[in-house]
Chains A and B, each alone.
Chain A
Amino acid sequence: MVQLKVLLVDDEKEFVTTLAERLELRGMDVDIATDGEMALGLVETDPPQVVVLDVMMPGLGGMEVLERIKAVDSSIQVILLTGHGGTKDGIKGMQLGAFDYLIKPVDIDELIEKLNEAAKNGL
């Protein structure tokens, strides 16, 4: 089975590193970015299959990052992750080409399932 390459983008460092470790434990190749700029840099230098993107971030917001990722490579799948319940963001994200959106805190098994689905979708 091909190793799934994932990029986690969230300004909460504690959250993102821990989640990365857990995914790696489950055999995934995980990169971390703590802001939008960094994420876009990584997308260009080392493009992942799936990006898990926090919507609310200081500086470059999730929606803009999503747009720019899609502009770089539309085959990269993006799963939006939000602490906010507003489905408006969800709908807007989906319109911009996001694969799905999840609300924090997220169950690890649910996330893995979504990642696999997204990866399949990206092929």
Chain B
Amino acid sequence: MALNLKNWFNIKERLQRFLEVEYTEDRYHNLRRNIRILMIALTIIPLVLMALINYHQYQSSLKEEIVSPTKLLANKTTHSFHFYLKERLSLIKSISYFYSRDQLCDEKTLNHILYTLKKEFVGFVDLGLINGDDGTQICYAGPYKLLGKNYATQSWFHEVTLKGTYISDVFLGYRKFPHIAIAVQRLEADGQSWIVRTTIDTTMFDNLIAAMGLDSESDAFILNKDGVFQTNSRLYGKVLEHCPIQIPSGGYATYVVEKKDPNGIDVFLAYAHLTYPEYTLVIVKPHSAVLKAWYALKSDLVVVFLVSLALILIVVFRLTDILVSRIREADQRRELAFRELQHSHKLSSIGRLAAGVAHEVNNPLAIINEKAGLIQDLIQFSPDFAQKEKFSTLVRSILQSVSRCRTITHRLLGFAKRMEIEVENLDLNELIQEVLGFLEREALYRNIDITVNLAKDLPRIDSDRGQLQQVFLNILNNAVAAVKDEGRIAITTWEKDADTVAASIEDDGCGMSEETCRYIFEPFFTTKKEKGTGLGLSITYGIVQKLGGDIEVKSTENQGTKFIISLPKKSK
């Protein structure tokens, strides 16, 4: 049990490894392939097994169904033959007992007996009495002149004197008609022997075979022990010809075998041996006739199999596509959410850091400011002294530097403070025009073509004017920096939907790589090297987010960049 459990875990692990794919570009491709292989294997293998098992079961049971009636038929017919021949033999035997040799020597009596036999039984041709010692025919009734004929040299005569009875194979008599001969020996008490012999035509054989009621494609015939036809065969030859099919000898049951006949057709061969005489009844049924139902079933089976296979494949492929695309979407959403979360975390921690630094720097800066201010005051309030002007300049320079520092710390504090929004009802078009005013001179100087395409009747929105100005100024500044002289910038506004307006700023400047695009809203990410702080777009992003809007960027390297800013009409 422990071993089994261990095996089970191994399988599970292996399966997991099979479905786990490495984090590469085509991991979804691999995942899809692996799931497909697994699902197809899990569904097709049992289907194929079931189909094969069904196939074999149906085949064997159907064969059994075909084989047993044929067997039964062969059995019955063999019995009929047996009965028929035995009856004729008994009849002749009875005659030899009912009549004495002298009576039978009388031609009149013999004729009467033959007449009665012909009348009551079918097929009797003639009747003769033969001397058991020398083989001479001493009396004869029948159509031929056979009186006085000596049979001593013939093999049947020896057999009948040896065994007491004899049934011949079929032979062609004087009239070239198939016959059999039956002979019976009678031993008198005085040691004399005589033989009664009759010939019977084989019409009854044909009748018995016809009574089997075989279909037109099947055949049945009697063979002697040498494989010679005793009756006509529809398919394989005439009476007394040699049968081309080899029938196994021996055994007293009825056998069914599958064989190829001389014409190359697959056949069922049913045969049974008669004990006396040594005849064999053979029934031949071609597969095609017997297995018609089976072939129909087989084609049904194949159709069902193929249809199920097609269905499985369609379902597996569709299902896998859906599954993998869902996984991919989920992964993408997770990645995006993770990035946004990371970004906002970064922003807020930078905000805290900036506020802390600004506060710590502001205090000493205030002291410098006051000290330098006091020096300036003192210089101002004191009478002229040597180098007063120089001191004055120096102090002013200190104060200017302090002022610059203050601007920086206040900006840092402002970055932390972006959270606060002053909402007013404003016209976005008007705001963009105002911002453009700041850039007019540079655009004119560098011959930049600014196309303004503002939607008429753009609904007014509730938002923070100052913050929005900063957003647009920031993005437009970037656009102006990105384009070459005589470049183009296009600004468009439109009503995005019932709750949102949008503005796009598109330039034909240097553009950005996909990698850069991914990071441009990150704090401290800059492509301007020493010139930029890397805070501009991250502040912009923060403001737009705070205002309940969204900002997205599309860029192609060396072709240009497009920023799209969506803003809600009503502030949240």
Does B436 sit at the interface, judged by CB under 8 A? no
How many chain B residues touch the partner (CB < 8 A)? Answer: 27
Please pick, from B355, B362, B378, the residue contacting A105 in the complex, using a CB distance under 8 A.
Answer: B362
Closest approach, in angstroms, between the C-beta of A55 and any C-beta of chain B?
A: 10
- Closest Cβ neighbor of B412 among chain A residues: A85
Does A18 sit at the interface, judged by CB under 8 A? yes
Instruction: Please report which residues of chain A, range 56-106, place their CB below 8 angstroms from some CB of chain B when the two chains form the complex.
Output: 56, 83-87, 103-106
Q: B238-270 CB contact bits vs A (8 Å, 1 = yes)?
A: 000000000000000000000000000000000
Chain B residues whose C-beta falls within 8 Å of the C-beta of A104 in the assembled complex: 362-363, 365-366
B358 and A18 contact, CB distance less than 8 A: no
Does A19 sit at the interface, judged by CB under 8 A? yes
Closest approach, in angstroms, between the C-beta of B275 and any C-beta of chain A?
A: 122
Please pick, from B355, B370, B371, B378, the residue contacting A85 in the complex, using a CB distance under 8 A.
Answer: B355
**Which of A21, A83, A106, A108 gathers the greatest number of chain B CB atoms within 10 Å?**
A83
Instruction: Please report which residues of chain B, range 360-416, place their CB below 8 angstroms from some CB of chain A when the two chains form the complex.
Output: 360, 362-363, 365-371, 373-374, 377-378, 381, 402, 406, 410, 412-414, 416
B366 and A83 contact, CB distance less than 8 A: yes
Please pick, from A22, A56, A87, the residue contacting B370 in the complex, using a CB distance under 8 A.
Answer: A22
Q: In whole angstroms, how far apart are the Cα atoms of A15 and B371 in the complex?
A: 8
A105 and B365 contact, CB distance less than 8 A: yes
Chain A residues whose C-beta falls within 8 Å of the C-beta of B360 in the assembled complex: 83
Does A25 sit at the interface, judged by CB under 8 A? yes
Closest approach, in angstroms, between the C-beta of B472 and any C-beta of chain A?
A: 24
Q: In whole angstroms, how far apart are the Cα atoms of A108 and B377 in the complex?
A: 11
Closest approach, in angstroms, between the C-beta of A36 and any C-beta of chain B?
A: 17
Please pick, from A12, A25, A56, A87, the residue contacting B367 in the complex, using a CB distance under 8 A.
Answer: A12
Please pick, from A14, A25, A56, A86, the residue contacting B371 in the complex, using a CB distance under 8 A.
Answer: A14
B363 and A22 contact, CB distance less than 8 A: no
Q: In whole angstroms, how far apart are the Cα atoms of A108 and B406 in the complex?
A: 14
Closest approach, in angstroms, between the C-beta of B364 and any C-beta of chain A?
A: 9
A86 and B355 contact, CB distance less than 8 A: yes
Whether A85 touches B414, Cβ cut-off 8 Å, given contacts A21-B374, A22-B377, is yes
How many chain A residues touch the partner (CB < 8 A)? Answer: 19
A103 and B362 contact, CB distance less than 8 A: yes
Q: In whole angstroms, how far apart are the Cα atoms of A15 and B368 in the complex?
A: 8
B366 and A84 contact, CB distance less than 8 A: no
Chain B residues whose C-beta falls within 8 Å of the C-beta of A22 in the assembled complex: 370, 373-374, 377
Does B340 sit at the interface, judged by CB under 8 A? no
B417 and A83 contact, CB distance less than 8 A: no
Does B359 sit at the interface, judged by CB under 8 A? yes
Chain A residues whose C-beta falls within 8 Å of the C-beta of B378 in the assembled complex: 25
Q: In whole angstroms, how far apart are the Cα atoms of A85 and B369 in the complex?
A: 18
A85 and B365 contact, CB distance less than 8 A: no
Q: In whole angstroms, how far apart are the Cα atoms of A87 and B410 in the complex?
A: 12
Chain A residues whose C-beta falls within 8 Å of the C-beta of B363 in the assembled complex: 12, 15, 83, 104
Q: In whole angstroms, how far apart are the Cα atoms of A56 and B360 in the complex?
A: 11
Does B449 sit at the interface, judged by CB under 8 A? no
B417 and A85 contact, CB distance less than 8 A: yes
21 contacts between A and B (CB under 8 A): A12-B363, A12-B366, A15-B363, A15-B367, A15-B370, A18-B371, A22-B373, A25-B374, A25-B377, A83-B358, A84-B358, A84-B362, A84-B413, A85-B358, A85-B410, A85-B413, A85-B416, A86-B417, A87-B417, A104-B363, A104-B365
| Residue positions of B touching A, CB distance < 8 A | 355, 358-360, 362-363, 365-371, 373-374, 377-378, 381, 402, 406, 410, 412-414, 416-417, 420
Q: Which 10 A-B pairs have the closest CB atoms?
A: A85-B413, A83-B362, A105-B369, A18-B370, A105-B366, A104-B366, A104-B362, A83-B359, A15-B367, A84-B359
Q: A12-B363, A85-B359, A105-B368 are in contact. List 20 more A-B contacts (CB 8 A).
A: A15-B363, A15-B367, A15-B370, A18-B370, A18-B373, A22-B370, A22-B373, A22-B374, A25-B374, A25-B381, A56-B359, A83-B360, A84-B359, A84-B413, A85-B358, A85-B410, A104-B365, A105-B362, A106-B369, A108-B373
